[in-house]
Chain A
Amino acid sequence: MIVRIMGEGQLEIDDSQLPELNALDEALSAAIESGDDAEFRSALSALLAAVRSRGTRVADDVLVDSDLVLPYEEAHIDEVRELLSGEGLIPG
């Protein structure tokens, strides 16, 4: 499974890690729903830490799309909401 951390690149993670990532992903979803920035920040940090520690870097010259995409470290909750609401943030 290929995971991208926005602004940092891609990592490959073994599928066996999926349940853990899913749990962390649910926590992030809940935080975004609630709109609580502190909760969002700790959920995002936990996810990033898990992906960074479990994943191995994809080589720079490999062209592959990602199964999962994580927001960048310092992303604000509103930025992630905007990203999810459409493609406005992705430049042409």
Chain B
Amino acid sequence: MGILQRMSMIFRAKADRALDRAEDPRETLDYSYNKQRELLVKVRRGVADVATSRKRIEVQLSQLTSQADKLQEQAQRALSLGREDLAREALTRRSGLETQMGDLQTQHDALRAEEEKLTLAAQRLQAKVEAFRTKKETIKASYTAAEAQTRIGEAFSGISEEMSDVGMAVQRAEDKTAAMQARAGAIDELLASGALDDPTGIAKDDITAELDRLASTSDVELELARMKRELTADTEEAPQALEAQPDAAEQASAEPVVEAQTQPRREEGRA
């Protein structure tokens, strides 16, 4: 006997056992119907759980993406400041992030596929549960216990097989999301620890700190250079000015000095 037939017999055996257990098959119908509704709730919860996991991964992906962009900018900034070593460090970290992002994307796609499958399974089960309810009411209203036994047959084993299948599918989805939750938790921890930098941008990572230090150092150098240039310019211009207006310090109203001053001060001088 082939594998496929053996598998179908395993499903059927389970349905048969459920039916055999009941003294009055009509009671089994109500019992089974309640079980079906419970399973339907469980499948819908399963769909919601998978969706939650998928969304969590989406948030992480966007955090990692902005972190990767930031590292790229840092590398550019470091290079413009002549620090190739820092640029290399930033790019190395970025490539590590990209590996992780690729991994997350794969997980994300798997979860989306799982979500779609479970959504369809829920729709299928809902239609079958509804069909079963109609059949059950007809059988209960029209047949004796003995007749019901033969009438239920196919409908009962049909829904029972569906329930077994959907039950296993939900279990698989739960296992998958549990495994992914654990990995997502690890990435959250990594993000929180600052190893992947703080997405809020409040705390500074070491590369940013070094670049800021470099930038402020070069700002200081630039300022110093500017002041030096001014000083040199002043000492060069000063003698000329003194030559042109020998008594400038004493005569505040002297034309050339007033010209050099701002508008309000000139009016003040005239008044």
Contacts and interface: CB of A to CB of B under 8 A. Distances in A.
A83 to B, nearest CB: 6
Do most interface residues of chain B lie in helix, strand or loop, or is the interface mixed? Answer: helix
A22 B2 contact: yes
Nearest to B125: A60
Contacts of B171: 91
B124 interface: yes
Interface in B31-50: none
B192 to A, nearest CB: 32
Interface in A16-30: 21-22, 25-26, 28-29
Contacts of A3: 4
Contacts, number: 107
A42 to B, nearest CB: 15
A38 interface: no
A58 to B, nearest CB: 9
B146 interface: no
A66 B132 contact: no
B204 to A, nearest CB: 44
Interface in B72-114: none
Interface in A44-69: 47, 59-69
B interface, size bucket = 35 or more
B150 to A, nearest CB: 15
B167 A61 contact: no
A63 to B, nearest CB: 4
A32 B4 CA distance: 12
A46 to B, nearest CB: 13
A74 to B, nearest CB: 9
Nearest to A29: B3
Given A21-B4, A70-B4, A64 B164 contact: no
A27 B162 CA distance: 27
A9 B3 CA distance: 18
12 contacts: A4-B161, A4-B165, A8-B120, A26-B2, A63-B131, A63-B158, A65-B11, A65-B160, A66-B8, A68-B5, A83-B10, A84-B6
Interface of B: 2-8, 10-15, 117, 120-121, 123-124, 126-128, 130-132, 135, 154-155, 157-162, 164-165, 167-169, 171-172
